[in-house]
Amino acid sequence: MINLEVPKKFAQLVDQANQAAAEFFRPHSRTYDHAEHTYPKELDMLATLLDGLAASGGGASAGGVRRDDNGSSKKKGGVVNGSNLQLLLGTIEMCWGDAGLLLSMPRQGLGNAAIASVANDEQLKRYEGKWAAMAITEPDCGSDSGAIRTTAVPDGDYYVLNGEKIFVTSGERADCVVVWATLDKSKGKAAIKSFVVDRDTPGFELVRLEHKLGIRASDTAHFRLDNARVHKDNLLGSPEINTEQGFAGVMQTFDNTRPLVAAMAVGVARAALEETRRLLKEAGVKIDYDRPANSQHAAAALFLQLEADWEAAYLLSLSAAWMADNRQPNSLEASMAKAKAGRTGTDVTLRAVELAGSVGYGEDSLLEKWARDSKILDIFEGTQQIQQLIVARRLLGKSSAELK
């Protein structure tokens, strides 16, 4: 029988993450939403504490999961609840507090997940303790990552990078940025590689910071690369262009990060559900789990529907992370979790605003903020539409050329 409870060994981590969310994230949520682009310096101490927990044997490295963390338990022939699941559970709790502040945490960038997923041992050591952002999207390339135009041209021991990157989360604050670029446009997706570019690299220019609908505590940057020289040792993965492997090398990162973005949506949606339940109770609306939804108050029936959707998103996210821990291919499940959780997050938070009426729309409650924050969680790391396309291809056995 499958045990769907939080593993006992993660109980302390979940409790500590919840305390951090309740005592810092939630109380400061409005402050940094209004003060967009202001770095929450209080996060430095919290990030140091999290680094200490990881170093003490917790298993999860900041922002990502090291490949070696998952292998030891498989040698014993057992099932493992490992670092991916641990990080996912912590992410849910933190985003129950505030998604924007989690994205502002030092060394918790999506670039860290990329480095942890595909870097070699020397790169892992060199970038240990660094804060890494991820730069994929371009002005002419959004959901179709394979259409990247930023180029990387070999020049001796270096690659020369040219292009533009937009919507880079934590781009200004990070120590380095994982940049996706193509070695040869004529060879399609197989030529796309990822490079770690240090922020002080000449030719790597910050153009501007974006103003956003939600997650305002997090900075979102626009960069220009103008003959930026990056050493060949900063290339993540193999420099060879393998047309048989195709896009799989760089896309491997998403198998780890998509469940985490799903977890962010799950956390925000849970916060909205809990607040809505409280408001409904104050209004005298009873939610009865022993009666059919259609025989209850309309608000209670809608709440039950939203809660069921949330439960499905939560379980899909757990499944995708657990599969990664157990070295099972999880590309399909990662996309399913991201698609379901992203849609559920926006549905739950917007319906929560509706159910709460004027209270939900005003700034006396965090419901309206959660509704704004949740939208990006259905967009970045692959939009809702892209996730559905990936799922369809996997289920039907179609290639990207066959099903567009």
Q: Number of structural domains, the chain?
A: 3
Q: Nearest to residue 323, comparing CAs of 259, 263, 264, 378?
A: 259
* Separation CA 352–CA 306 (nearest Å): 9
Residue tagged active-site, from 244, 282, 381, 402: 381
Give the pTM: 0.91
* Separation CA 133–CA 220 (nearest Å): 10
30 with 156, same domain: the answer is no
With H, G, I as helix, E, B as strand and everything else as coil, classify residue 109. coil
Structure tokens at 281: 């109770």
Give the residue from 111, 126, 141 where a domain finishes.
Answer: 126
Segments forming the whole domain that contains residue 342: 248-396
261 with 334, same domain: the answer is yes
253 with 392, same domain: the answer is yes
The answer to whether residue 377 sits within a structural domain is yes
CATH code of the domain in which 260 resides: 1.20.140.10
103 with 232, same domain: the answer is no
294 with 208, same domain: the answer is no
Respond yes or no: is residue 307 known to be catalytic.
no
- For Cα atoms 137, 220, 209, give the angle at the middle one, nearest 5 degrees: 110
**Under a CB-based contact definition with an 8 Å cutoff, are residues 327 and 70 in contact?**
yes
**Under a CB-based contact definition with an 8 Å cutoff, are residues 114 and 132 in contact?**
yes
Give the residue from 104, 126, 148 where a domain finishes.
Answer: 126
β-pairing, 132-135 with 158-169? Answer: unpaired
The answer to whether residue 243 sits within a structural domain is no
CA dihedral sign of residues 133, 248, 395, 77: negative
* Separation CA 23–CA 28 (nearest Å): 9
pLDDT in tens, the chain (404 residues): 457 788 999 999 899 999 999 999 999 999 999 999 999 988 988 887 766 655 554 444 434 554 444 444 444 557 788 888 998 999 999 999 999 999 999 988 788 888 888 899 999 999 998 999 999 999 988 877 778 999 999 999 999 999 999 999 999 999 999 999 999 999 888 899 999 999 999 999 999 999 999 999 999 999 999 999 999 999 998 898 876 665 655 666 788 889 999 999 999 999 999 999 999 999 999 999 999 999 999 999 999 999 999 999 999 999 999 999 998 999 999 999 999 999 999 999 999 999 999 999 999 899 999 999 999 999 998 899 999 999 999 999 998 889 98
Phi and psi dihedrals of 150, rounded to 5? -60, 130
76 with 152, same domain: the answer is no
CATH code of the domain in which 25 resides: 1.10.540
The answer to whether residue 288 sits within a structural domain is yes
311 with 196, same domain: the answer is no
With H, G, I as helix, E, B as strand and everything else as coil, classify residue 121. helix
The answer to whether residue 404 sits within a structural domain is no
AA letter at 346: T
213 with 325, same domain: the answer is no
Give the residue from 103, 126, 149 where a domain finishes.
Answer: 126
91 with 136, same domain: the answer is no
262 with 357, same domain: the answer is yes
321 with 185, same domain: the answer is no
114 with 205, same domain: the answer is no
